[in-house]
């Protein structure tokens, strides 16, 4: 297979063409895909037509797919695929429409061992709207003033599924599930386990408080770091094409979904996440 790589956002994101993931990539191509993701943080593999199990299997090139934990949204043919749809409703909560990931976040940070990568496969893509935005957390860290880098070195934030600071509603979970998800603490700056680079590690939707700081001081610090990290110069906005598989690295990016497509337009994505490591 020959890999053709095109930069999408300049400072982050690239598109891959000329590859059909129905054929398992050879060792060289697999290595090239992993390298391209490390270099570009967000990788869009264009023009795929994959049934659920071949999709899950193809994603093994990037890591070990994890079983989904939301039964109602899990694909009936594949335990590792979560279906995200414009028809989603908060079935355990108020039953109203729910847009998963509509506020800036990194996936899974409410877990002690968050997933490393997320893959989203565009099954039904609206003609307009529904973009996914990304922000580059290496660049956001690199360009912090030295005094701020010194201030946050060694600080950690408490992350929880249903944070009081969250920017959007999150799907209600059962009491049993909530009991399995105690709050966890992660560093504000993490070192990427493969590149060795430092990145801000924030999740506006899940962070409750900076450990050891009073609430007001913690809120002011988190607000300042978030405002810095989501500035337009750190962002890339992905406009979906049918058949795109977009892979992103949660260890050095944040992302958000946009539900700005017309009423009645259909947006349906198949999401896979792969295992990560404890953030340090």
Structure tokens, 143:
């360009």
Told to check if 276 binds ligand SIN by CB under 6 A, we report: no
- Binding ligand SIN (rule: CB under 6 A), the pick from 14, 16, 41, 100 is 100
Cβ closest to ligand SIN, residue 166 vs residue 255:
255
Residue 229 in contact with residue 135, Cβ under 8 Å? yes
Cβ closest to ligand SIN, residue 163 vs residue 218:
163
Among the candidate windows 41-49, 65-73, 100-108, 145-153, which touches ligand SIN by CB under 6 A? Answer: 100-108
Catalytic residue at 186? no
- Binding ligand SIN (rule: CB under 6 A), the pick from 59, 83, 221, 257 is 257
Told to check if 101 binds ligand SIN by CB under 6 A, we report: yes
Instruction: Please give the C-alpha separations between residue 221 and each of 138, 149, 213, in angstroms, as whole numbers.
Output: 18, 12, 10
Rounded to 5°, the CA angle 276-39-255 comes to: 60
Told to check if 84 binds ligand SIN by CB under 6 A, we report: yes
CB 165 → ligand SIN: shortest distance, Å?
17
CB 100 → ligand SIN: shortest distance, Å?
6
User: Do the bridges between strand 156-159 and strand 184-187 make them parallel or antiparallel, or are there none, so unpaired?
Assistant: antiparallel
Catalytic residue at 94? no
Question: Residues with catalytic annotation?
Answer: 105, 107, 255, 271
Question: Contact residues for ligand SIN (CB under 6 A)?
Answer: 84, 100-101, 107, 118, 120, 132, 255, 257, 269, 271
């Amino acid at each position: 297979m020959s890999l053709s790589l095109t930069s999408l956002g300049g400072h982050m994101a690239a598109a891959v063409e000329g590859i059909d993931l129905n054929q398992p990539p050879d060792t060289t191509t697999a290595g090239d895909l992993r390298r391209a993701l490390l270099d570009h943080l967000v990788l869009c593999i264009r023009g795929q037509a994959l049934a659920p199990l071949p999709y899950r299997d193809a994603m093994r090139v990037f890591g070990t797919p994890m079983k989904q934990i939301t039964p109602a949204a899990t694909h009936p043919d594949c335990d590792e695929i979560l279906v995200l749809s414009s028809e989603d409703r908060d079935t355990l909560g108020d039953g109203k429409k729910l847009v998963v990931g509509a506020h800036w976040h990194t996936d899974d940070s409410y877990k002690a061992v968050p997933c490393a990568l997320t893959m989203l496969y565009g099954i039904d893509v609206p003609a307009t709207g529904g973009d996914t935005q990304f922000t580059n957390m290496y660049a956001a860290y690199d360009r912090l003033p030295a005094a701020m880098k010194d201030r946050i070195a060694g600080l950690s934030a408490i992350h929880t599924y249903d944070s009081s600071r969250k920017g959007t509603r999150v799907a209600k979970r059962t009491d049993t599930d909530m009991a399995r998800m105690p709050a966890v603490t992660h560093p504000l700056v993490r070192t990427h386990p493969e590149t060795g680079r430092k990145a801000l590690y924030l999740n506006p939707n899940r962070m409750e408080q900076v450990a050891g700081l009073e609430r007001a001081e913690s809120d002011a610090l988190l607000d300042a770091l978030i405002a810095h990290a989501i500035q337009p110069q750190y962002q890339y906005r992905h406009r979906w094409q049918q058949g795109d598989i977009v892979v992103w690295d949660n260890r050095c990016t944040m992302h958000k979904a946009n539900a700005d497509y017309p009423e009645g337009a259909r947006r349906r994505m198949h999401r896979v996440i792969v295992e990560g490591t404890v953030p340090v």
